[in-house]
Homo-oligomer: A and B are copies of this chain.
């Protein structure tokens, strides 16, 4: 039985301040929790509605919760809805620690740098795509939306549990290190050269910068770029969505 103090505490995890204080965040929804289980995320506890427990998902997962010794319990619909940040909550919420990532010291060989990504859905989708293509090092400017924001977490579909590096590091530091190491610093920009014409040496190490939805890559980060790349399209449309552009560039860079 969830006490009202406990519910309040769990709800507070929708705010960045309390997530950082408690070092925990919430996972909501069947697919996300199922992905977290596949990724061996150390879930602390799971609450679900009776309806969710009786569903196909519920039946499939109860066994996994038992195997992995993850405490789970049924809570009233109203309580789950209170704890949920989503309008379409699916009646299941899990509590999990913020993963411990590797400390950054040297520039990893394939990485992404998020420069002021502000939309939680875009941030989450980029993380999901990065994990899909096996990119394990994600850095960001401190101006980005918090990556443990519940909308980001929902869109990322468990990507948070696949990364080695996942850190906010200022431009000068991280891009400075890539420059010193002689690595490629790729900037996605609609005025860049077509990605098809990019000829990276085999085993060339790179970091791909994706910029803010409205303003693109910031002035400071731009000074570090070694190649500006774009995805050619028809005249008229102004740009691609940043998570789609990122997806196409990562596909091209990794295949």
A contacts, CB < 8 Å to B: 31, 34-35, 38-39, 121, 125, 128-129, 131-134, 155, 157-159, 162, 196, 214, 231-234, 236-241, 243-245, 247-248, 251, 255
Contact = CB atoms under 8 A, between A and B. Distances in A.
Contact of A157 (B38, B125, B131, B238): B238
A162 B132 contact: no
A133 B233 contact: yes
Which of A34, A133, A238, A251 lies at the interface centre, i.e. has the most chain B CB atoms within 10 A of its CB? Answer: A251
B234 A134 contact: yes
B247 A240 contact: yes
Contacts of A132: 231, 233-234, 237, 239-240
Given A238-B157, A248-B247, A233 B196 contact: no
A47 B162 CA distance: 47
A244 B162 contact: no
Contacts of A131: 234, 236-237
7 contacts: A38-B238, A133-B234, A157-B237, A157-B239, A244-B244, A245-B247, A248-B248
Nearest to A34: B238
Given A244-B244, A248-B248, 11 more contacts: A125-B244, A128-B241, A129-B241, A131-B237, A132-B234, A132-B237, A133-B234, A157-B239, A162-B236, A232-B255, A247-B247
- Copies of the polypeptide in the assembly: 2
A239 B239 CA distance: 25
Contacts of A247: 240-241, 244-245, 247-248
User: Which 9 A-B pairs rank lowest in CB-CB distance, beginning with the nearest?
Assistant: A244-B247, A132-B233, A134-B234, A248-B251, A125-B241, A132-B237, A131-B237, A129-B244, A132-B240
A34 B124 CA distance: 27
A139 to B, nearest CB: 20
B129 A240 contact: yes
A34 B239 CA distance: 12
Contact of A35 (B39, B129, B238, B255): B238
A84 to B, nearest CB: 17
A175 B251 CA distance: 29
Contact of A244 (B38, B134, B159, B243): B243
